Amino acid sequence: MLTKRIIPCLDIKDGRTVKGVNFVDLRDAGDPVALASAYAEQGADELVFLDISATQEQRKTFASLVKDIARHINIPFTVGGGISSVEDVAPLLEAGADKVSVNSSAVRNPQLINELSKAFGAQCIVLAIDARKIDNAWIVHTHGGKNPTDKKLFTWAKEGQDRGAGEILFTSMDHDGTKNGYAIDPLSKLHELLTIPVIASGGAGSMGHFADVFALAKADAALAASVFHFGEIQIPELKTFLKNHNIPVRL
């Protein structure tokens, strides 16, 4: 049986790790290189780095940050933020990233997923989807959750898979930073709908929430930020807890 993955997420703004609630009220969470190194040592399975305010200038800075981080860790990591073309990806992979994440740019130009998958392989492409429940439908948002779109979560995730994405990273904007648990119902539906792995994001507040997202929603991986950044949950203890609840993890 495939082991479930624990993935700390570092949202990067101006070279620092930040964390908010429902995508707003950001506060500083520390140095990304130090955090990345610590998570790798603690047994994280992967890391995700998102440049949440990416501009062309910041992305050049981010590539150097990716290289700095890669020197300090020995686990796979995914980089996202401001990637809008095949040409944007190679510098990040050369800097040491293993995968790239696309979000707003893929909504704007869905063909980008096909192009990236063809150029680098599906295993390298993560389609990140930020969605909020509005009038009983999960509506996809772009630009760091600021702009609602006409796309809906399930049809967009399926289209992303069909176009060549290797994983779906779904963040529930309603759950993000609340520490009230993951969005079990839509995650369960994504698991039933898709054949590629689903990464759950948004809402982790206790070790029980991780157990629930694996056991109930059948997520392949669980991503979290503030509970790790501020020391509320330690990864070794979390993995022991999950193993004791019959959830397969890499210890």
Which residues are annotated as catalytic?
11, 130
What is the CA angle 117-120-124, rounded to 5? 80
Token couple for 113? 């997923």
CB-based contact 18:233 (threshold 8 Å) = no
Write the secondary structure of the chain as one string of H (helix), E (strand) and C (coil): CCCEEEEEEEEEECCEEEEEECCEEEEEEECHHHHHHHHHHHCCCCEEEEECCCCHHHHHHHHHHHHHHHCCCCCCEEEECCCCCHHHHHHHHHHCCCEEEECHHHHHCCHHHHHHHHHHCHHHEEEEEEEEEECCEEEEEECCCCEEEEEEHHHHHHHHHHHCCCEEEEEECCCCCCCCCCCHHHHHHHHHHCCCCEEEECCCCCHHHHHHHHHCCCCCEEEECHHHHCCCCCHHHHHHHHHHCCCCECC
Phi/psi region, residue 60 (left: phi>0; alpha: psi -120 to 50; beta: rest), is alpha
Within 10 angstroms of residue 119's Cβ, the number of other Cβ atoms is: 14
